[in-house]
Structure 1
Amino acid sequence: MNRHTVLALAWLLIPPSVAFDAEAAEFYLFADGGIAEPDLGTLDRRQQRHVARMTGNDEGAPVSVDDRSAAGVIGVGLLPFRHLALELSYHYLGDYRLESRARIDTASHQLDARTTTDVEVRGWGLSGKLLLPIGEALSATATLGVARLETDITAVTTSRGTVLGESISRRERDTYSVEDTVGILGIGAWYQYGPHVGLRLDYRYLGGFGQGDDGGDSDLDLVTAGLVYVF
């Protein structure tokens, strides 16, 4: 468990200093949409190792990464206190593609290989959101929470060429999933437009997903704008 997750759990488990008032509490629904941009460092290195294994070329291969995707968050929130919200949410954090090519050219092997890896990230989150009023209807927000994410990875490698004078063509498919509990850190703004409808803007940082055997992981930046409906 990384340090971001520990901090977020500590925040969520701290008992409130003010007693919960069920009659004053407000429920709300929210839907956010925006752009996610991950740092796929661990998956990048795994991609290079995969191509090296397929081609026998230990020097690795350059990797082209499509590292930006549409993303969204939907969920339900509770305002148990005036300046504190608790949210349960489903996160779709986008799909990404890593592509690499490698060639081995020796006296016995002339081989071209292409590996395409598709990555999809999604999961559930629980977070606390602190609302800091800066106007009658406008508040700055600070978010701290945890998420359980599933990263689905599908790698397809095609190899063509000659080995010992014989032509070969092969295709291999490798599919697996990685599950991680990660921390969520965020800042933003919330504008309450009337008693029921609100607008909000959020930046969230999620750290520690897609962990590899070497202990490395990937981070993700998420920027969204959304609507809130308060009951």
Structure 2
Amino acid sequence: MSIVGMKKATAMQAIVDGRPSSVLRALATVSVLALGLAGCAQTSPSGLSYSETSYQTRHPIVVDTAPTTLDIPAGNERTHLTVGAKSAVQGFAEDYRRSGAKGIQILVPAGSSNEVAASHLARHAREIIEERGVSRNQISILSYSVDDQNVPGNIRLAYVALKARVASECGVWPSDLGTNFENQNYENFGCATQSNLAAIVADPNDLIAPRGNGPINAERTAEVISDFQANTPPTVLPVLVSDAF
């Protein structure tokens, strides 16, 4: 018989004997044992599954196609892009190449007061994009109608590619956090973290499936094997910092 069982048996025997002091001690012993065993009891489940409490499930990251645009102000007389606009177009072209998109569009305002100047700027933008390694057959110059012909229209660069985003809306507070005694995550918990992760991921395809293995460096492999066979410490290569983010 265990120690707990022996104590319970002694306490019950004291109650049966009817001795007052023994009865009080027995009741105290039983109460202490009951409290101790209550800590080992299993509590009833809250009814919430993991999927309901996980912020990855509540605020999932989805990958779908979405347009990426860049608006460039165009005056009435300018025929070449400014230094700042040129830098913006260069960065846009680099993003396009990394995105894996199949085509880039340059939209020119039609019927606006600066239509002629905007056409010159569009051709200049195309030259800059080509200089960044994008072939001309991937670039198309199109026009769009403007609401007010007296207002100069902007040039818009656009392409459609995969983008990662959070399916739910952040900043939603449907309940009072002060009355939650269940120690559960609140509705908005993790939404900002998921949104930041979706925004900084270099290639949304990595969220769909892992990348394949890269090519093996045969020279480095042979060097490591040779060092291992010669029982010499391997040479440590410098750490390369990726600019993916």
- TM-score bracket relative to the smaller structure: under 0.3
Larger Rg: 2
- For normalisation by structure 2, the TM-score amounts to 0.21
Q: Which has the higher helix share?
A: 2
Q: Which has the higher strand share?
A: 1
